[in-house]
């Protein structure tokens, strides 16, 4: 387990050097996209012509407040990534993002897309919305706010050491979630047998 402090845009070599179990803190541009935003971006391309190369995509629907004309983030923990499983492989093939931030893990389709595109999936602690807001820092811009509403809009942040983030799916086909799934299935079989269920 190694700890890294990364700044987006992140280069290919850095991503290839990350392994499951490593801890990272991310600074620089991080943008949010949930189900609806994935669909919009796949349909219409980069939001506002943004260059997504090397950036971090965050599965998050934040609580925002407008104060004196400026958006402020109050709570912004990760949402359940698995809802985006059917969209993420296409998203990673189309856009050169290097870090996907979420919670709960993703499936084999995304794991393969991460390998194919040299990207990683990292886990932020679910529900830790106040902590995430502190790491996300200032809002640079927002897209699709009118069309999709606050949680589904694409919020673009200038993050300051967002973390700790666990590398849970790396660019080499390793997934902590697959490991835990395998072990917990063995444990389940053992428990059911012991209890005579």
How many Å apart are CA 125 and CA 164, to the nearest integer? 8
- Among the listed ranges 44-52, 85-93, 111-119, 181-189, the one in contact with other proteins (CB under 8 A) is 181-189
Instruction: Kindly state whether residue 125 participates in binding other proteins, applying the rule CB under 8 A.
Output: yes
38 is catalytic: yes
> Does 179 help bind other proteins (rule: CB under 8 A)?
yes
Residue 41 pairs with which residues in a beta bridge? none
Residues 74-103 binding other proteins (CB under 8 A) are: 74-77, 79-80, 82, 103
Cα–Cα distance for residue pair 150/76, rounded to 1 Å: 11
Q: Which of residues 46-65 bind other proteins (CB under 8 A)?
A: 60-63, 65
Q: Which helix (H) or strand (E) holds 132?
A: helix 129-136
* For other proteins, the closer CB: 51 or 181: 181
By CB under 8 A, the residues from 136 to 165 that bind other proteins are 149-151, 164
Could you tell me the smallest distance in angstroms from the CB atom of residue 1 to other proteins?
A: 6
Q: Does 23 bind other proteins (CB under 8 A)?
A: yes
| Residue among 38, 44, 59, 143 flagged as catalytic | 38
What is the number of residues in the chain? 197
CA–CA distance, 52 with 30 (Å, rounded to integer): 10
Q: Is the peptide bond before 164 cis (omega within 30 degrees of 0)?
A: yes
How many Cβ atoms are within 10 Å of 120's Cβ, its own excluded?
26
Residue 6: phi and psi, rounded to 5, are -110, 150
* Segment lying near other proteins (by CB under 8 A), choices 11-19, 40-48, 93-101, 130-138: 130-138
Query: What DSSP state is assigned to residue 30?
Result: E
60, two tokens? 């998050």
User: Contact positions toward other proteins, by CB under 8 A?
Assistant: 1, 21, 23, 60-63, 65, 74-77, 79-80, 82, 103-105, 123-134, 149-151, 164, 166, 168, 176-177, 179-181, 183-185, 187-188, 191-192, 195-197
């Amino acid at each position: 387990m190694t700890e890294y402090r990364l700044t987006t845009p992140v280069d290919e070599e850095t991503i290839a050097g990350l392994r499951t179990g490593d801890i990272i803190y991310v600074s620089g541009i991080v943008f949010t996209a949930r189900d609806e935003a994935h669909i919009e971006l796949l349909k219409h391309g980069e939001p506002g012509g943004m260059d997504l190369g090397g950036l971090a995509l965050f599965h998050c629907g934040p609580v925002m407040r407008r104060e004196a004309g400026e958006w402020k983030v109050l709570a912004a923990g990760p949402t359940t990534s698995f809802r985006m499983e059917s969209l993420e492989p296409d998203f990673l093939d189309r856009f050169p993002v290097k870090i996907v931030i979420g919670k709960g893990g993703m499936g084999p389709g995304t794991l393969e897309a991460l390998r194919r595109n040299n990207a990683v999936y990292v886990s932020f602690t679910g529900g830790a919305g106040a902590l995430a807001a502190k790491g996300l820092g200032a809002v640079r811009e927002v897209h699709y706010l009118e069309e999709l509403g606050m949680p589904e809009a694409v919020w673009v942040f200038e993050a300051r050491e967002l973390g700790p983030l666990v590398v849970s799916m790396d660019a080499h086909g390793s997934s902590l979630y697959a490991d835990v799934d395998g072990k917990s299935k063995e444990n389940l079989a053992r428990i059911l047998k012991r209890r005579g269920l």
